[in-house]
Each structure stands twice: as C-alpha cells, then as structure tokens.
Amino acid sequence: MLMIVTTATVTILLSSAIMVLTTLISKKISEDREKSSPFECGFDPKNSARLPFSSRFFLIAVIFMIFDVEIALLLPMPITMMTSNIKSWMIISVVFLLILILGLYHEWNQGSLEWSN
C-alpha cells in the first residue's frame, strides 16, 4: 500500500513540475502587431479577416448533421430485427421513420432545403 501511495505522489509531483516548467518556458514575451495580424503574403490586409457567415449555409449544415445522425441510427435497424420482438421493433421503426419523414416535410415546407432564394 505504501508503494502505491509513494508512486502516486511521485507521479503527481513530477507531472505538476513538468506542467509548471512548460508553462514558464512557453510564455510569449511580447505581443507583436505583425504576428497577431492575418498573413497575406507580406502585404497589409485589404479587408477584415472576419468575413460575414452565411446563415443559410449554417442552416443547411445543421440539417445535414441531423439527418446524418439519423442515418447512423437507421443502419443497425435490420440487424436488431433478428434479436428483438418483431412487434415492438416494427412499432419503434415506424414511429422513428414517421418522425424523420415529418421533419423532412417540415423543412421542405418551410423552404429550408432550397439553397438560393
């Protein structure tokens, strides 16, 4: 027991000393305006580095991620059919697919799936 406590103490002290040492070594001494500005082949930037982000693109990306996760949930359904009660599997599958179809219809009806308006 004493061996475990000693090893744990040495490990914690050694890792803490390494973290403190790397923090002290890695500190930047001065902030340079040129180093913190965006790099454009040595020229002064003409425009802001922060461009406006398209909310349409963000909405399409979120919808894609939602349906991508839903596909990942649909793939194991045929495999689980063999090991589960067929009636409960059918009810769960139909409800899940119905929710997906209603969500797709809602997005389509709202016009969220059209890229350009």
What's the CA gap between 98 and 103, in Å, rounded?
Answer: 8
pLDDT digits (tens, 9 = 90+) for 33-72: 666 666 656 666 666 666 777 777 888 888 888 888 888 8
Asked whether the predicted pLDDT for residue 32 surpasses 70, the reply is no
Domain ranges (residues) in the chain:
55-110
The confidence score (pLDDT) of residue 43 equals: 63
Q: Tell me the CA end-to-end span of the chain in Å, nearest whole number.
A: 71
The confidence score (pLDDT) of residue 70 equals: 85
- Cα–Cα nearest to 97, from 62, 78, 65, 70: 70
Q: How would you label 38-54 residue by residue, b for 16+ Cβ within 10 Å and e otherwise?
A: eeeeeeeeeeeeeeeee
Contact 34, 45 (CB under 8 A): no
pTM, whole model, 2 decimals? 0.48
